[in-house]
Amino acid sequence: MKTLQQSEKILAEKYRILGKLGQGGVGITYAAVDLNSNQKVALKALSLRLTTEWKKVELFEREAKTLSGLNHPGIPRYIDYFQVDTSQDRCFYIAQQLAPGKSLTQLIENGWKPNEAQVRHIASKVLEIIVYLQSLLPATIHRDIKPQNIILQKNGRVFLVDFGAVQNTYHHTVTGGSTVVGTYGYMAPEQFRGKAVLSTDLYGLGTTLLFLLTQKFPSDLPRQKQKIKFRDRVSISPEFADWLEKIVEPAIEDRFDSAKDALSALRGEQPSGINPEKMFKRSPQSRITLIDTKRWLLIKIHPDRSPSKLKCFFQFIHLIYKVLLPFSLILGFLLCSLFEYTLTDWLLTLYERSFVISILGITTFTLFYALMWLCRCLCRIVYRRFARKIQISPQHIQRVKLSGIHLPLLKISMTFCRICAKPRNYCFGLFLPQAEKEWLVGELSDCLSKLK
């Protein structure tokens, strides 16, 4: 990709180009200054004319959308997204806080040789950023962690940049995309199959740390059955070597399950036995309980105990019957006393006018309570019919995804969870909140990838 903009050029009447910072597969990054605030920013540009693949435009837009929702001190702050049209081209731009410092690649090229303590510090700081990304709903996977995308300041502060290959777990599981994104040598083996899980970023971090320790590209290091052999090329403690060996395991199930586990192990806080916090999980709105013992996965969907509109209506009628009716009798007695009616006359008038109303009221309440009883019976029948226990072997599951259903009479569209298996599919979760469905599909897909 050629250089799009020259120095001193002003874009969108707001940003003045200072120079080129770098170039990647999805765009060119420039250093610029915001003319309104006089602050330096990083401008990532993508030319529609020079782009041969529409997928790059999709990745660029996804990067802007992801960055706008991130808030972490180790990720440069998102500022703006805009486009500039000319007679010959259309360029898209992402404006971010300019991360001060140099990339790990630049530092190594300048002769920097970090020791174990410095490498541990970088690993800890990057893992903290990945922990944040994995805590989002849905979890976000960077997919391109490498020395060029990690910025180190002199004071030890670390930034993770270039989210051009970013992928969230929901998008990956629902679309089932197979686009290979990443950088050779730092890509986890599953990325060559177009797959990305939570531990994919851990592999990228591990190969980056090996690059710092060995001063060699990971692809140049010897391998045995896809496993990188590095122990004889580094001078580090056995504990740190064991940790590194686990984080760059080619098999997903042999790596740490998440960045949180890897960070705990790096700090010497790895718990023994089963971790209850990891074994038991709750969905965002606590409608789902998930128990993961690595051998089996138990999912329980709790009924919605929030009051329905029908239930609130019956409660309101009951309130009128219990409270307002006695209150009206007392009020009528007071009014009769005020206008000098005798109690006998008032009671006779009340009896004549309220006899028919009382009969109708009693009949109405009887019908209401009968209808409520009938609804409860129907709900129990439906629950017993559909709330059955489902047991599926992982070998029979092909895919887990969200599917949609359109109800033309109600003019609404709804989604539900679908497990595609042999010999049949399983559908559930139609009335769960959307965030719960997305969380459940992500958890199921992540568990399935580990078991396989």
pLDDT at 280: 65
Report the top-level CATH class of 10-97: alpha beta
Catalytic-labelled residue, pool 80, 144, 257, 345: 144
pLDDT at 307: 47
DSSP class per residue in 47-105: ETTT---HHHHHHHHHHHHHHHT---TTSPPEEEEEEEE-SS-EEEEEEEE---SEEHH
pLDDT at 56: 80
pLDDT at 255: 92
Dist CA 95 CA 103 (whole Å):
19
Q: Is 304 a catalytic residue?
A: no
Which CATH architecture fits 102-270?
A: Orthogonal Bundle (1.10)
> Which helix (DSSP H) or strand (DSSP E) does residue 112 occupy?
none
pLDDT at 429: 80
pLDDT at 1: 43
Structure tokens at 87: 């007679």
Low-confidence ranges of the chain (pLDDT < 50): 1, 169-178, 271-277, 306-310, 341, 343, 346-347, 351, 353-357, 360, 385-386
pLDDT at 382: 53
Q: Give residue-wise pLDDT tens across range 368-397.
A: 666 666 766 665 555 554 455 667 777 778
Q: Give residue-wise pLDDT tens across range 290-349.
A: 766 555 677 777 766 544 444 555 555 555 555 555 555 555 555 555 555 454 554 455
Q: Are the C-beta atoms of residues 197 and 449 closer than 8 Å to each other?
A: yes
What is the residue extent of each domain of the chain? Answer: 10-97, 102-270, 272-301+390-452, 309-386
* Pick from 417, 413, 410: nearest CA to 437: 417
Please list the alpha-helical segments (H only) found in 114-175. 116-135, 169-175
Backbone angles phi, psi at 183, to 5 degrees: -120, 125
